[in-house]
A and B are shown apart, each in its own frame.
Chain A
Amino acid sequence: MQRLLLRRLGLALLLIVAASALIFAIIAAAPGNVAALIAERAAGAGADGAMIARIEQELGLNDPLPIRYLTWLSHAAVGDYGVSLRTGKPIAEEFAARIPVTATLLGFGGVIAFLLSLAMGLAGAASNGGVVDRVLHAVALIGASTPNFFVAALLVIAFAVTLGWLPSFGASGPASWILPAVTIALFPASVLSRVVRVNLQEAMARPFATTGFAKGLTRGSVLLREALPNIAVPFLTTFGAQFTLMTIGAIVVETVFALRGVGSFFIDAIRFRDFIGMQATLLLFVVFFVTANFLVDLICLLVDPRLRRGRN
């Protein structure tokens, strides 16, 4: 078990380093001049060629790419991501202020997706081909194929503009998180509900379920007591993948709901050609993805003894 974990950890670190090199290479190859942007920030319309050349020299932008990469990575490893070209603030400071916003959104969204998908999957399995099952199937299909900016617009028009129950944007109180969290949760909840439903169907056809019925248990009891624990691994694995994908959704949802999280920082960085900010955010996303997947693997190992035995 310990060796397995260490191997997974090593792989995760290797993945982060490889992804960081790719991020650096892509951003370095992108059109646009960082020095020109910094000069523009400092002097506005007064930015001229001499100033740009001076900044290039100061920042080491004329150094070979590998040297620049190693310098950037070594600084990033100790939390120094540089200064945002757009806001002029250290990116570490930006992250410190914005990660809680994104974490809250993902946290609420994750809880909604978790509970909603289980409820929909269980209700569908309990109905087993009935009206409820078919309606939930349709709802899941619609939820999984509707872009979240469209969902957001519909929710805002219904609950903020028409009914006036909830704020249309911002993080002004607990109520303001409802619409963004529901928006971001809809896609993963739809996908996960199908995973739950299909896996429950398979589990219900297995011998332990038949034994349960033979013992006189109701369908509901067999679903909850026998089948549900058996779908934990596929459910958690898919949930982990969907949860990390919610970060991508956060880029849109934060912008639409004016939440000032990491996603909106990233989109602003793209819009304003803040290469340093883009680089840092992409690295943060990679670290998050790799860590989340590592944790999901760990949880799966803990909840399913078969995996531990198999891997050992």
Chain B
Amino acid sequence: MTDISRRNFLTAASVIPFIAALPNGVFAAEHETLKIAISAETGNLDLLQNVSTLSAYTVVFDALIHYGPGGTLEPGLATAWTVAEDGKSISFDLREGVVFSDGTPFDAAAVEWNLKRWMGVPDFSWIGVADAYESVVVDAPNKVTVKLKRPVPAALMELTIVRPVRFLSPKAVDAKGVQSAPVGTGPWIVESYDSARTVLVRNDKYWGDKPFFQKIDLVVVPDELARANGLRAGDLDVIGGDWVATLSPRRAKALQAEGIPVVAEPGTATMHLGYSPVSPMVQDLAVRKAVFLGIDRAAIAAVLFEGFAEPTADVFPAVIPSSGKRHDVPVRDVAAAKAALTEGGWTDNGGSWMKGDQTLKLDLLVSEESLPGSRRIAEIVQGMLTEVGITVTVSSVDNATIHDRRPAFKYDLAFFTTYGAPYDPHGTLGASFVKASDTGPDGKIYISDELDPLVTGALAATGADREAKIQAVYDWLWDNVAICPLVVQKRVWAHSPRLKGFTLPATDYDLPFKGISA
């Protein structure tokens, strides 16, 4: 029999608190859980409230149609769909055998119940198909038709968006019809959520390919450096994504240099320098030409975005459907910019430009909070335009102020980004280029009386006409130098070396998990 001395016993006992103090995951089977950083808590995933994180919805709730690469429409909860010739009704064949994660069958009645929660409701009139809604007809247990008051050309694309169009179990609401639990048909089920994390478990009743991992741990890490360190330390598996937990180009470059896999794919949103419609300075075509030619987009992409961006001269990136014919990115030409000003009646007054008694001075509105990295870009633009002789004042303001000043057009120049997939092109065109649309704090990239009918006509166009009319909008913007596209930032993610098959989904709103294993 082995004697246990008092000293040995105490030594052994002293180790116990240290073992207890070890991080929870040390002895767990790590490969069972995929740990993804999110910058803010997911919230309760109420489909009718604009509070929760968009990305978390996408793995819990399905749509009738899913947005595929390049804007292709892929079957989701509908296996097929038919748009009537007059564009005023859309019939859906529903996927059979699908159940919500609480066991409730997904059928035509569930579709009808879901659609009526937001279609025809004034709060959702910003979605064309909700605004034009007339009725929903159950044709058969697995067939539904949505009838519209007028054709909505972007209707199918609108049905791919995240909120409020995805499908909730009709049993997951309280007596007042308010969502009581996030119960969908998607590949993941919400096991728990609080302000620190949301735990998702695999939905074994999911109709599609089953994910490799048993759990996804969405961990709230608001600080970017902490996320990067978490990845380095093995406390996180995946970081990145503009709508999930932004990974800045500088940080991505640093991680890449350390051998941590970084995935960068073409972005879906364009960063623009927008012109105020009430500023006499930038309403002058010559000034817009000078600004357009005076900026070195390639340098911005290479230096400020560390190569994680592509310079562009177009409204939308090529990955956006109906994004029009492509233009060559202009090479910065200071002499041509100055010549444009001279041609426009401006005179060089020894380093600054004058027209009558007016000096060419522009106010560039920027908010680092609103658009991370924009302050540095503003300073570079300021420097580049100074070389042309244009005096640029950078007005750096907080998020609240830019939300007040931008819709009131209290600036000459301001940064904008297009909405990106799956909202474009119709989303940005309808919101940022049409005078009448009330976009609240988002403001307008460019508006004019001449442009208005072109955009509204293009958005209402159906059939073969549609592409031509959208192209006419792009042509007008190009011919009038009405836009100043800068760069398309890439979608940047970094992941643990233990992960295999890491691929990005089609939009920035989706969480990456498909095809990923460890």
* Residues of A that sit less than 8 Å from B by CB: 30-33, 36, 39-49, 51-52, 86-88, 94, 97-98, 153, 156-157, 160-161, 164, 166-176, 178, 255-260, 264-265, 267-268, 271, 273
CA–CA, A268 and B195, complex, Å: 11
In the complex where A36-B403, A256-B226 touch, is A268 in contact with B440 (Cβ < 8 A)? no
CA distance A75 to B399 in the complex (A): 28
B366 at the interface (CB under 8 A from A): no
The yes or no answer to B191 lying at the interface (CB within 8 A) is no
- For the residues of A in contact with B, the DSSP-based class is helix
Across the interface, which residues of A come within 8 angstroms of B40, CB to CB? 86, 268
**Is there an interface contact between B220 and A260, defined as CB atoms closer than 8 Å?**
yes
Judge whether B51 is part of the interface by a CB distance below 8 angstroms: yes
Cβ < 8 Å to A, chain B residues 35-50: 40-41, 43-44, 46, 49-50
A interface footprint on B212-223 (CB within 8 Å = 1, 0 otherwise):
000000011111
> Looking across the interface, which residue of chain B has its beta carbon closest to that of A164?
B233
Contact A87 B41 (CB under 8 A): yes
Interface-centre pick from B221, B233, B234 (highest chain A CB count, 10 A): B233
What are 7 A-B contacts with C-beta separation under 8 Å? A44-B50, A46-B125, A157-B229, A167-B235, A169-B226, A169-B229, A273-B403
Interface size class of B (residues with CB under 8 A): 35 or more
Within the complex, the shortest CB–CB distance from B42 to chain A, in Å, comes to 10
Which B residues fall within an 8 A CB radius of A?
Answer: 20-25, 40-41, 43-44, 46, 49-51, 123-127, 163, 194-197, 219-223, 225-226, 229-230, 232-235, 369, 398-401, 403-404, 427, 431, 438-442
Closest residue to A46 on the B side, CB-wise?
B126
Give the chain A neighbours of B124 by CB distance below 8 A.
43, 46
User: Which residues from chain B contact A174 at a C-beta distance below 8 Å?
Assistant: 20-21
CB neighbours of B20 from chain A (8 A) = 173-174
Cβ of B226 and Cβ of A94 under 8 Å apart?
A: no
Residues of chain B with a CB closer than 8 A to A259's CB: 196
Cβ contact within 8 Å between A173 and B23: yes
Q: Is the CB of A267 within 8 A of B49?
A: no
Partner of B195, one of A45, A256, A260: A260
With a cutoff of 8 Å between Cβ atoms, the chain A residues found around residue B440 in the complex are 36, 39-40, 45, 47-48, 52
Can you add 17 more A-B contacts, CB < 8 Å, to A153-B229, A169-B230? Answer: A31-B398, A31-B404, A45-B427, A46-B124, A47-B438, A94-B195, A97-B194, A160-B235, A161-B233, A166-B23, A168-B226, A173-B20, A174-B21, A175-B21, A256-B226, A260-B41, A265-B195
A88 contact set on B, CB distance < 8 A: 43-44, 46, 49, 51
In Å, the complex CA distance between A39 and B438 comes to 12
**A268 engages B23 (CB within 8 Å):** no
Given contacts A33-B404, A87-B51, A268-B40, contact A153 B225 (CB under 8 A): yes
Chain A neighbourhood of B441, CB < 8 A: 36, 40
Task: Let me know if B399 and A273 touch, CB within 8 A.
Answer: yes
> CB-CB < 8 A to A39: which residues of B?
440
How many Å lie between the Cα of A88 and that of B51 in the bound state?
Answer: 6
Do A44 and B163 form a contact, CB below 8 Å, given A87-B51, A173-B24?
yes
